[in-house]
Amino acid sequence: MINGLSIGDTRMKLLAGALLFGFASLASAQNSIIVGGGATLPAAGYGGDTSTRLQGPLRADTTGDGTLLGEYAKTQSSPSNLRVSYCQTGSGGGKNILAGNQLTAFAVNANCVATPNPIGFGATSLGETLAQPHFVGSDSPLNSTDLSNYAAGHTGITGAQPVQIPSVSGAIAIAFNKLDTTGNPVASLALNETQVCKIFSGAIKTWQDPALASALPSGVSVTGPITIVYRSDGSGTTFNFTNHLSKACGATAAPPVGTGGNGVATKFKTDQTFTVATGATPAPTYFSSYSATLPESGNPAVVNGISITDGSIGYAEAANVAAGFLTFATVNGFDPSNYGATTLPVTVNFDQIITGVDGNGRPTLAASGLTTQCIGLVNPEDYATSTTNYPIVAVSYLLGNAKSNGLDVGQVRGVLFSPYNSTVKAQVNTIGVAGAGLSWLSINGATPAVIQAKINSCVN
Query: How far is CA 273 from its chain centroid?
Result: 12
Cβ atoms 40, 319 nearer than 8 A: no
| pLDDT above 60: residue 120 | no
Cα 97 from Cα 146, distance rounded (Å): 11
Cβ atoms 200, 254 nearer than 8 A: no
Q: What is the pLDDT of residue 115?
A: 44
Query: What is the number of residues in the chain?
Result: 460
Give pLDDT tens digits for 45-91: 998 754 433 333 334 444 567 899 989 988 988 887 788 878 777 88
Question: Cis (ω within 30 of 0) for the bond into 225?
Answer: no
Q: Is 217 helix (H, G, I), strand (E, B) or coil?
A: coil
User: Quick one: average pLDDT of 156-180?
Assistant: 94
Q: What is the pLDDT of residue 15?
A: 21
Give pLDDT tens digits for 303-317: 999 999 999 999 998
DSSP state letters, 159-177 = T--EEEEEEEEEEEEEEEE
Q: What is the pLDDT of residue 40?
A: 85
Q: What is the pLDDT of residue 179?
A: 98
Burial of 190 (0-12, 13-18, 19+ CB in 10 A): middle
Cα 61 from Cα 75, distance rounded (Å): 11
CA angle 207, 257, 91 (to 5 degrees): 95
Q: What is the largest CA-CA distance in the chain?
A: 73
Which phi and psi angles does 236 have, rounded to 5°? -70, -30
Q: Is 106 helix (H, G, I), strand (E, B) or coil?
A: helix
Cα 248 from Cα 243, distance rounded (Å): 9
Cα 287 from Cα 232, distance rounded (Å): 13
Structure confidence at residue 268 as a pLDDT band (50, 70, 90): confident
The reported pTM is 0.84
- Exposure string over 252-271, b if 16+ CB within 10 A, otherwise e: ebbbbbbbbeeeeebbbbbb
Which phi and psi angles does 442 have, rounded to 5°? -120, 120
| pLDDT above 60: residue 20 | no
Cβ atoms 39, 138 nearer than 8 A: yes
| pLDDT above 60: residue 24 | no
CATH architecture label of 172-338: 3-Layer(aba) Sandwich (3.40)
Give pLDDT tens digits for 211-257: 999 999 999 999 999 999 999 888 899 999 999 999 998 765 444 44
The two beta strands, 83-88 and 438-443, are unpaired
DSSP state letters, 358-370 = -TTS-EEEEE---
CA separation, residue 327 to residues 149, 190, 252 (Å):
39, 11, 26
Cβ atoms 125, 111 nearer than 8 A: yes
If one compares 119 and 344, the residue with the highest pLDDT of the two is 344
User: Quick one: average pLDDT of 110-130?
Assistant: 49
Cα 374 from Cα 352, distance rounded (Å): 9
Which of 10, 50, 95 is CA-nearest to residue 301?
Answer: 50
Cα 326 from Cα 54, distance rounded (Å): 20
| pLDDT above 50: residue 403 | yes
Percent of the chain with pLDDT over 90: 49
Q: What is the pLDDT of residue 63?
A: 55
Q: Report DSSP state, residue 143.
A: B
Cβ atoms 298, 49 nearer than 8 A: no
SS3 content of the chain, % helix, strand, coil (to 5): 30, 20, 50
Cβ atoms 221, 180 nearer than 8 A: yes
If one compares 392 and 250, the residue with the highest pLDDT of the two is 392
Range list of β-strands (E), 99-257: 135-138, 162-177, 190-191, 227-231
Which phi and psi angles does 185 have, rounded to 5°? -65, 140
Structure confidence at residue 300 as a pLDDT band (50, 70, 90): confident
CA separation, residue 358 to residues 260, 267, 269 (Å):
15, 11, 9
Average pLDDT in the chain: 80
Q: Is 444 helix (H, G, I), strand (E, B) or coil?
A: coil
CATH 3.40.190.10 in the chain, residues? Answer: 172-338
Q: What is the pLDDT of residue 369?
A: 87
Flag the least confident range among 3-7, 36-40, 41-45, 323-327.
3-7
CATH class of the domain whose range is 2-166+341-355+365-379+397-458: alpha beta
Contacts (Cβ under 8 Å, ≥6 apart) of 33: 57, 82, 83, 84, 85, 123, 126, 128
The two beta strands, 162-177 and 312-317, are antiparallel
